[in-house]
């Protein structure tokens, strides 16, 4: 198919105009500097936002809770999104099931089938749940809900009380399904001559 020169120019003109405008704007955005904007946060402000919980749970706050206590909180704060049987709804994913499914085409990633660390579960609930009320649960309420979810996934007993000391010790079913955080945690890493990023 042949095009006349005028037709080609009319087809390419919008692209050329966009490029001529967008390129200088992109360069300007990359070179802009800002002064006298904002301030350095105070130590108290940093501590208030520094709520991340590491895998070993050393930052976990005081408090405790059991699955029995967590069931009542779940019924008030979580059931609308995750369902009465933790089966999930259009508003939130299922929180149980999926055991043994990760190696199948119908993998279901739930607390009991996928999550490798119980401390990550506590951290997620603490910072992101309930929806639109994030951060509203007390540490003991978070422990209780965490215990309830672990109980429903057959990981802890219903009467078991979890706290900052016991939570990091809980062995999750998929704990060994992830590459370790540190090279030295890989079995026989030293023997195999593994270094950061490489392992023969």
* In the chain, where the domains are located: 59-184
- Per-residue pLDDT band for 157 (boundaries 50, 70, 90) equals very high
Please give the pLDDT value at position 29.
61
Please give the pLDDT value at position 34.
66
pTM to 2 decimals? 0.70
Distance CA 158, CA 152 (A): 8
- Fold (CATH) for 59-184: Cytochrome Bc1 Complex; Chain D, domain 2 (1.10.760)
What residues pair up with 66 in beta bridges, in sequence order?
161
Distance CA 51, CA 69 (A): 23
- Sign of the CA dihedral 8, 14, 19, 20? positive
Under 8 Å between Cβ of 39 and 149: no
What residues pair up with 171 in beta bridges, in sequence order?
117
Distance CA 121, CA 69 (A): 17
Residues 6+ away with beta carbon under 8 Å from 174: 102, 113, 114, 115, 116
Beta strands in the chain (DSSP E): 64-66, 161-163
Per the rule left: phi > 0, alpha: psi between -120 and 50, beta: everything else, 109 is beta
Q: Average the pLDDT over 119-132 and give the result.
A: 95
Q: What is the mean pLDDT of the chain?
A: 83
Distance CA 190, CA 183 (A): 9
């Amino acid at each position: 198919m042949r095009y006349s020169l005028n037709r080609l120019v009319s087809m390419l003109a919008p692209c050329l105009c966009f490029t001529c405008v967008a390129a200088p704007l992109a360069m300007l955005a990359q070179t802009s500097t800002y002064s006298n904007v904002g301030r350095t946060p105070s130590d108290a402000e940093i501590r208030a936002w520094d709520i991340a919980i590491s895998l070993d749970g050393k930052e976990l706050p005081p408090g405790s809770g059991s699955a029995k206590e967590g069931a009542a909180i779940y019924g008030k704060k979580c059931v609308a999104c995750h369902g009465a049987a933790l089966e999930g709804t259009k508003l939130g994913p299922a929180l149980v099931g999926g055991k043994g499914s990760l190696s199948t085409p119908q993998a279901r990633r739930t607390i009991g089938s996928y999550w490798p660390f119980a401390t990550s579960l506590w951290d997620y609930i603490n910072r992101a749940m309930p929806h639109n009320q994030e951060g509203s649960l007390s540490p003991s309420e978070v422990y209780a809900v965490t215990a309830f979810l672990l109980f429903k996934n057959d990981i802890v007993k219903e009467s078991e009380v979890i706290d900052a000391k016991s939570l990091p010790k809980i062995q999750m079913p998929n704990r060994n399904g992830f590459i370790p955080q540190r090279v030295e945690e890989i079995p026989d890493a030293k023997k195999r001559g593994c270094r950061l990023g490489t392992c023969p």
